[in-house]
Amino acid sequence: MKKRNRKQEVEEQLPTTNYQLPTTNYQLPTHFMKDSYMNAFEGWKQQLWFIAELMIISAVLSYLIKYGGAYLPLSGTSSQALFIVLLPTVVIAIALYLRYLFHKKQG
């Protein structure tokens, strides 16, 4: 009788299976292709540039209101103050809406 080690005894006690993993014809989506990182970077670059444009426009309007407002001959009524405070928001809203319409036409 041959001497068996503990490993062989345990292996004999384990059930044997012929299980195979299922195969599939799955293909990766196109955004995982070779240049996907560069395409993602371009998208981020466009979004960051758009945000920078908004910040620059907002800063210019704020500067004009703060330093240019003293030279305007306006009386101090509350309706004029409200108009001046809301003007940058309205201008940026119009610019965003026009940009939306332009991109909607482009498809």
Low-confidence residues of the chain, pLDDT below 70?
1-2, 4, 15-24, 26-40, 107
The structure tokens listed for 100 are 């939306």
- Whether 14 contacts 6, CB under 8 Å: no
Query: For residue 101, what pLDDT is reported?
Result: 92
Query: For residue 39, what pLDDT is reported?
Result: 66
pLDDT in tens, 17-45: 666 666 667 665 655 555 555 666 777 88
Query: For residue 33, what pLDDT is reported?
Result: 55
- Whether 90 contacts 57, CB under 8 Å: no
Query: For residue 59, what pLDDT is reported?
Result: 95
Query: For residue 55, what pLDDT is reported?
Result: 95
